[in-house]
Structure 1
Amino acid sequence: MQKDKKLIIYDIALIIVSLYFAFLLRFDFSIPPEYMEFLKLSLIPVIGITLIFNRFFKLYSSIWKYASIEELMSIIYSVSLSNAVFVVYSYIVSFRFLENRYYRFPYTVHIIFWILSVVTLGGTRFLLRMFEQSAGEKGVKKKCKRLLIIGAGDASAMLIKEIKGHKNLNYDIVGLIDDDSSKKKKFISGIEVLGGRADIPEICKRHRIEDIIIAIPSVDMHSKREIINICKSTACKLKTLPGIYEIVDGKVNISKLRDVNIEDLLGREEVKLNNSNINKYIKDKIILVTGGGGSIGSELCRQIARFYPKQLLILDIYENNVYDVQMELNYNHPEVNKKVIIASIRDDDRLNEIFSHYKPDVVFHAAAHKHVPLMEMNPAEAVKNNIIGTYNVLKCCNDYNVKKFVQISTDKAVNPTNIMGATKRFCEMMVQAFDAVSKTEYVAVRFGNVLGSNGSVIPLFKKQISHGGPVTVTDPKINRFFMTIPEAAQLVIQAGAIAHGGEIFVLDMGKPVKIVDLARDLITLSGYRPDEDIKIEYTGLRPGEKLYEELLMNELALTSTEHKKIFVEKPNKIDMKFIEESILEFKEVVYEDREHIFKLMEEKVPTYTRKNNERESA
């Protein structure tokens, strides 16, 4: 409030000075007496009009430390309208002097007064901004991190402004990188473009760069991956702005900065969905997602909510995760009718109650035990949840006339060497058996590891790095297929749209990635040197673990679909009688010792084989 009063006093003085100098300049520093009298009589109206418009345009409520072009435009608007009103005033109110003549302000006085007012009122405020920023810099004496920004476009310009306006960020922007040679040696907000992407290692070394920010939201995945690979050699900490499609409000600010991660490095392309197909089976339908609080299940809920279902049923036995999903969806999609159901797929009576009451049209089945070593140690729980639980859901879909059922499967179901993979393969067999005898369309979607999902290697590696290492890898040769959580969920939904029943869809996972390479990249992206700052240790394969995962049962049986990232395996004929008998046997064997469970699984899943060293696993 004190500062506002001071600004008003300054403005009154500046208005008087500006108007007086406008007359001096117009009359060559010799103002005629009659105009001098007119000037004195007009001061109070001019001051009053200007202060009213200044207040209207919030010139006394802005924080001038953060003033920008918007505040400058407010000053121009205020001065322009003040002068316009004063022109009208000078014509309406005129004063008679010698020889019955009328005197008004000459047009040139109005023009000069406008220019002087913008300069003085605006100059005062921007000088105030400079003094406050200078005082802030003197008050905070910190060692700033030397920063290099990649990109010399709109995003970089806004980012520079943000960083300069937030001194607590502690950044000293050394320069910019851009492949456009015409920008080299040019400046953006006082920051020079030092070179292109090929110059990054040399520039980082010469200027002792500590942090790099990639500020090219519209860059394609291939180029981004190439830039990150170049930056990896510098040992600098990397951050990036998200893709342009993620910045929905069109603004670039510090809050949107994030660390460069493995997803950026793998460079998975954005999935392009056929929305018309998806709308046909999701819009205005009742959709049930089992395991809705898990990594895949929760992302399925997020994606499904975008297609305006009539009701979204989120089923999970673990209330904490599903509560978080509910709160997120309430915030992002308040228009969607959502219902959280706490239940176990093992509880057949509870499932019948749910299906009878809600009558879902489509079911996405993501509820499952998935951790390979844990299930190898607890095979009975894998059978109870993954096989018997899935059977319960499949049967309810048939009994309550569900239109479509989509099973989430895994690459570990292909020629499985562990009990988890074997249970998921038997689920695929059940899906095909039910499809042959039911009006419901039953399909399975098979994909590999999902980056950042619960229990995946990436969160584990990040935690190990944060503790200073070591990062543990089971074997230097082990590799896996990877995709992002949103990509997996979107392709599952798309596969459901093109399904006719009985198919096993196989998602294009790209090329397999060595786990040790992921570990090294993650260490580097975290600003450390692999094997020097953070050690990598090899612990040996865990029970049931493969060196290499497979996605197909038979490559010759694979055919393409209308979506380039989704393939389909020719359906196998599975006898429903075999499934029913097997379920009865599984229900009995879960109460026997582990070895009986393994032996029965070998009988029921012909492709399942156990290695000798896994039989002794504790």
Structure 2
Amino acid sequence: MTWLNRSILVLLFDLLAACAAWFGTYILRFNFEWPVEYAAQIGLGMLVLLPVHGIVCRRAGLYRGMWVFASLPDLARVLRAVAISSLSVWAFVALYRAQPAVPRSTLLLYPILLAVIMAGGRVAYRMWKEHRLYGGLIAKGRPVVIVGAGRGGAMLVRELQRSADWRVVGLVDDDESKWGRELLGLPVLGSVEELPEILASERVQHVILAMPSAATRVRRHATDLAVRAGAKVFTVPGLEDVMGGRVAVASIRRADIEDLLGREPVWIDTPHVEAMLHGKVVLVTGAGGSIGGELCRQLSRFSPARVVLFEQNEFALYTIEQWFAQNCPELAVVPLAGDVKDATRLDEVFAAWRPQVVFHAAAYKHVPLMEVGNAWQAVRNNVLGTLRVAEAAQRHAAERFVLISTDKAVNPTNVMGASKRLAELLCQAMQDRSGSTQFEMVRFGNVLGSTGSVIPKFQEQIARGGPVTVTHPEINRYFMSIPEAAQLVLQAASMGRGGEIFVLDMGQPVKIVDLARNMIRLSGFSEDEIRIEFTGLRPGEKLYEELLADAEETRETPHPKLRIARARPAVVSLLAELNAWLTQSGSLTDDEVRRGLLRWVPEYVPMYGRPALRVVEGERSFVRAGSKA
């Protein structure tokens, strides 16, 4: 049936509704007896009402909506049409002078009957249509409990009732006023705290979170309760999707570890960040990496004039370049291959493209790999690479240089952390040296899903059936999402005045063994099915990460998730000494590298080969384990 034919049928229904309401008014007025003496009056009134009612309904937009989706906006349009149509009745009553007089009760009865018939017809059609389409799905599908009996929960229930995949048993909510009541015919069974008991009593193994407006800690707590009860947890999209009515069964996804470790949403001071990036040429080193790539994606929102992607890995460079081609084709992007230690290549790039803002994300980050056999390469890449990019930025008058650092630079116990602390020191020294470039550093901890993160490793081990390997039962780490880290880096960069070390609020540390347990449960397994195996700390690894050194103090910034560390100052002479050490001919052994790092980073206490460390005449040196002092 075409749209035009359907509109004509609906119009005929509304005209019949007007006829029925007009006749019904007289029938009710005269106690269901036909008033013969009023027949002419009824007919004349019909001739007046029908054309007016048809025009009013058309102008009220009653024929744009679909009855199968009739809802409150449609009811509002019906009531508006009834109100205007009723004016014609009042006009008829006022102007009709023949006898007998028009009963005044028509002024009240006509609009009531008309509204009931027009709205009731639409509701009845929707109920019949939904029963015809979805009535056979009742009591089918997997039983599920929904957490959240608010608007998001109501929208989700409505969608799930039309799905053969799910059968909603009930809902839980922390609002006591909702307990024992019903939402769209389904009971609110109790509070979120009672979720494990409710799942057991109702024999339900699936939970869907529908709390888009709840605080992150509340959603995290609900997820944790469900996971510990052995349920499979699903979640719906964000607040804007739910409240916009865009929730669909297809949008439901399995909850993941980011939901369980979820952090409060990050806000950034958009005007400040936009002032830093809008219309500027921005260069990102390590642009194909986890943090570098996300930085590129985030900064593309602020309309830079050009983004220069500098990356050593060919495939990573191709991947991020393709992302821009697909998602931001209007943005000028320059993909360049190169090594951050190559001063000649860097001078070519800076001279050709004149970047005004530089984000230096290129680094070797894997602690155990860099600790044994690769220490010299780690130092050259992380320290010499930083020095070369910083010198090029200063030489070519870049406005701002931002070093992406790490929490492992605080009281470092490994080569990777010590090399990043040394990179921080040289940036501080560059800031103190004459030049127009501002140097800023940003420290943060582990990011979920980044290259080398424990999350993909655990996922792979769970997919293989285990075991899941954890180095130590007490080891913990800070975690944040990659987008959150990238946004805070941009925020810190826009706030810097030169020489600051920004520290991101990483929240509370998480035990890795708890992380492993939760990932196993989220995957639908128990620890009996996939066991956890402890393998021992790896070279250079420590149990607890820190974001601030013991001797450092911090000061607040206008952003609640950013602080500034007051670290010990660096001396400008450090640059020449580092350059000589890093450019010497030949390669250094791991022990020689550690000895050199101790010279500039006195807070560095190597964990690997720790018994061999001793202090001689006020400076640190290495002595073989077991030798005499």
Q: Same fold (TM over 0.5)?
A: yes
Where does 1:120-519 land on structure 2 (aligned, <5 Å)? 120-140=117-137, 143-164=140-161, 166-168=162-164, 170-241=165-236, 244=239, 250-251=244-245, 253-254=247-248, 257-271=252-266, 273=268, 281-282=276-277, 285-304=280-299, 308=302, 310-311=304-305, 313-317=307-311, 318-323=316-321, 325-326=323-324, 330=328, 339-346=333-340, 348-372=343-367, 375=370, 382=378, 385-414=381-410, 420-439=416-435, 440-466=437-463, 468-519=465-516
Partner of 1:611: 608
Report the CA distance between 1:397 and its aligned residue.
0.9
Give, in whole Å, the separation in 1 of the partners of 2:242 and 2:296: 20
Alpha-carbon offset, residue 82 of structure 1: 3.5
* Structure-2 separation of matches of 1:115 and 1:485: 59
Aligned residue number for residue 531 of structure 2: 535
Q: What per-residue deviation string (whole Å, max 9, x for no partner) do you get for residues 231-278 of structure 1?
A: 33311122345665x669655724665544434433534446566765
Q: Aligned partners of 1:48 and 1:537: how far apart in 2? A: 81
Aligned-partner Cα distance in 2 for 1:249–1:341 = 40
Name the structure 1 match of 2:615.
none
Counterparts in 2 of 1:22 and 1:51: CA distance versus 1, 3 Å: same
CA spacing shift, 1:272–1:204, aligned 2, 3 Å: same
More deviation in 285-294 or 322-331?
322-331
Distance 1:139 1:227, change over 3 A: closer
The answer to whether the 8 A contact 2:138-2:167 is kept is no
State yes or no: 1:19 paired with 2:22.
yes
Q: CA offsets, 1:301-356, max 9 Å, x none? A: 455456x465352514334432465268639xx8xx65343333435445334433
Instruction: Give the equivalent residue in structure 2 for 1:522.
Output: 519
Task: State the 1:519 CA deviation.
Answer: 0.8
Which amino acid in the other structure matches residue 489 of structure 1?
A
Match of 1:75 in 2: 78
Equivalent AA in structure 1 for residue 40 of structure 2:
E
CA distance in 1, matches of 2:209, 2:430: 50
Secondary structure of residue in 2 paired with 1:407: strand
Measure the CA separation in 1 of the matches of 2:596 and 2:431: 19
SS in 2 for 1:167: coil
Q: Point out where structure 1 has 5 or more consecutive residues left out of the alignment.
A: 614-618
Inter-CA distance 510–251: structure 2 relative to 1 (3 Å threshold):
same
Q: Mark the CA change 1:236 to 1:583 in structure 2 (over 3 Å): closer, same or farther.
A: same
After superposition, residues 551-566 of structure 1 pair within 5 angstroms as 551=546, 554-562=549-557, 565-566=562-563
| Deviation for aligned residue 1:398 | 0.6
Match in the other structure for 1:616: none
Does the 8 Å CA contact 1:294/1:321 hold for their aligned counterparts? no
Give 3-state SS (helix, strand or coil) of 1:461's partner: helix
**SS of residue paired to 2:439:** strand
What percent of counterpart residues are identical?
Answer: 37
The CA distance in 1 between the partners of 2:104 and 2:120, in whole Å, is: 24
Distance 1:66 1:464, change over 3 A: farther
Instruction: Provide the rounded CA distance (Å) in 2 between the counterparts of 1:516 and 1:12.
Output: 70
Kindly provide the amino acid, as one letter, of the partner of residue 43 in structure 2: K
> Which residue number corresponds to residue 40 of structure 2?
37
Q: Distance in 2 between matches of 1:195 and 1:311?
A: 55
- SS, match of residue 129 in structure 1: helix
Cα deviations by residue, 1:365-418 (Å, 9 ceiling, x for unpaired) = 112333345556766764664344433321221111122211011233456565
User: Partner amino acid for 2:525?
Assistant: Y
Task: Identify which range, 276-285 or 393-402, moves more after superposition.
Answer: 276-285
Question: 2: distance between equivalents of 1:233 and 1:148?
Answer: 15
Q: Using the alignment, how far apart are the partners of 2:53 and 2:548 within structure 1?
A: 80
Sort the Cα spacing of 1:136 and 1:248 in 2 relative to 1 into closer, same or farther, 3 A.
Answer: closer
Q: Any conservation in 2 of the 1:345–1:393 contact (CA below 8 Å)?
A: no
Q: Which one-letter code corresponds to 1:196 in the other structure?
A: S
Between the two proteins, the alignment pairs up a number of residues equal to 590
How much is the aligned-residue C-alpha RMSD, in angstroms? 3.8
When residues 276 and 556 of structure 1 are mapped into structure 2, their CA distance, relative to the original with a 3 A threshold, is farther
Q: Is 1:577–2:572 an aligned residue pair?
A: no
Q: Which amino acid aligns with 2:141?
A: C
Question: CA–CA distance in 2 between the matches of 1:342 and 1:89?
Answer: 81
Shift of 1:517: 1.0
- Distance across 2 between alignment mates of 1:89 and 1:314: 76
Kept after mapping to 2: 8 A contact 1:502/1:571: no
Residue identity in the other structure for 1:402: A
Tell me the SS of whatever aligns to 1:23. helix
Residues 313 and 338 in structure 1, CA contact (< 8 A), matched pair in contact too: yes
Q: Is the 8 A contact 2:500 2:564 kept in 1?
A: no
- 1:189-245 CA distance string (max 9 Å, x none): 22222222332222111111222233333333444444333333311122345665x
* Distance in 1 separating the partners of 2:579 and 2:46: 98
Scaled by the length of structure 2, the TM-score of the pair is: 0.80
Residues 205 and 231, structure 2, Cα contact 8 Å, conserved in 1: yes
Moved more, 464-473 or 390-399: 464-473
Query: 1:167 offset after TM fit, Å?
Result: 2.0
Distance 2:496 2:461 in 1: 42
User: Aligned pair in 2 of structure 1 residues 15, 209: CA closer, same or farther (>3 Å)?
Assistant: same
Shift of 1:422: 4.8
Corresponding letter in the other structure for 1:167: S
On the 8 A contact 1:445/1:507 being kept in 2, the answer is yes
Residue matched to 2:590: 598
